[in-house]
Amino acid sequence: MDPYEIEFIGENRIVSIIPNFSHDKIFLICGEFGPFRAGLPMNVPLWLGVMLKQKQKCRIVPPDWMDIEVLENIKEEEKRSRFFTKMPNEHYMVEAKLILGAAAEDIPRASEIKTIIKDIWDIRMSKLRTSMDALMKSGGNYGRLDHLTMMEINSVKPLLPEAMDELHRIKMMARKTMPASLNNSTFSQTGGSQNI
């Protein structure tokens, strides 16, 4: 999957904004939002919040987890643990990128927060690489992906699933004997399965 597609999925998460205008309820495919009352906090999807922010129609309320202390704790825990720790948000990178990109002024200590989120991401990515290698070396037949976010899982595709498929195939093929002829008889079974 393209990272922009994951961003698109992540953009449906709800964030809190404070609009500077008033407007009736709006009806969207993803639900009803509003009414908008100037100065009163309300919930909207991330994409809408960012769009309104870009048009200077609102302030974005920092999500609870976008806080130096919370993030420091997460970072320490992530360093200490052999496993992946649970992130405060399934799309923390998407949310961080969009909110800090469009509304840095609304987030206290935005640049420190940016750095620390990047640190957490880097720790997790390097952990992911190490554990992929360990998984292959130990010959494990499955890998646990607990607490990995969608963007992180996507970063090991197609490599990891393909490599595991291939390893499985080698194990199976090397064991059993081949069909008698290589150039006929398999046409009808597999002819349609190949794609571009």
Partner 1 sequence: MGNQSNYLSISDILVTNEKVPCKFLHDLPKMGFLDPASTEDDLKTGTNVEIPLWLAESLYSRRPPLVSVDLPKIYKEAYREILNADACTVDLHKLGQHFYELGCYIAKHDIKGEVGNTLVNTFRQRFRMILSASASTDSISALQPLSDTERERTAGAASTEKALSTWLKRGDCPLSTANMVASHRKRKRAEMEML
Partner 2 sequence: MFGEKVIELLKEAERNRDTIDQYNDEKVRQIIEEMHVLFKMNMADANATTENKSLWTTVQVRHSALERNKRCLLAYLYSRMNKIKTLRWEFGSVLPPDVRELLSDSEYEWFSKYSTNLASYMRSLGQDIGYSGIDLTENLRPPKSLYIEVLCLTDYGKLELEDGDVILLKKNSRHFLPTSECQTLIRQGILKQIM
Q: Which residues sit at the interface with partner 2, rule CB under 8 A?
A: 2, 4-5, 7-8, 181, 183-184, 194-196
Query: Closest approach of Cβ 55 to partner 2, in Å?
Result: 11
SS3 at position 173: helix
- With beta carbons less than 8 A apart as the criterion, state whether 72 and 37 touch: no
Among 37, 109, 144, 157, binds partner 1 (CB under 8 A): 157
Instruction: Indicate the residue among 55 and 80 with the shorter CB distance to partner 2.
Output: 55
Which of partner 2, partner 1, none has residue 8 at its interface (CB below 5 to 8 Å by kind)? partner 2
Q: How far apart are CA 117 and CA 36, in angstroms?
A: 31
Query: Closest approach of Cβ 104 to partner 2, in Å?
Result: 19
Which of partner 1, partner 2, none has residue 175 at its interface (CB below 5 to 8 Å by kind)? partner 1
User: Pattern of binders to partner 1 over 30-69, x per CB under 8 A?
Assistant: ----------------------------------------
Which of partner 1, partner 2, none has residue 5 at its interface (CB below 5 to 8 Å by kind)? partner 2
Q: How far apart are CA 181 and CA 11, in angstroms?
A: 52
Query: Closest approach of Cβ 43 to partner 2, in Å?
Result: 22
In this structure, which long-range contacts are made by residues 61-66, counting pairs with CB atoms below 8 Å and at least 24 apart in sequence? 61/15, 61/16, 61/17, 61/18, 61/106, 62/99, 62/106, 62/107, 62/108, 63/15, 63/16, 63/89, 63/95, 63/99, 64/88, 65/89, 65/92, 66/96, 66/99, 66/107, 66/113
Which of partner 1, partner 2, none has residue 29 at its interface (CB below 5 to 8 Å by kind)? none
Angle at 143 (CA atoms; ends 138, 145), nearest 5 degrees: 145
For 95, half-sphere exposure in the C-beta direction (CA atoms, 13 angstrom radius) is 25
**Residues forming the site for partner 1 (CB under 8 A):** 2-4, 7, 93, 97, 101, 129, 132-133, 136-137, 139, 151, 154-159, 162-163, 166-167, 169-171, 173-175, 177-184, 186-187, 190-191, 193-194
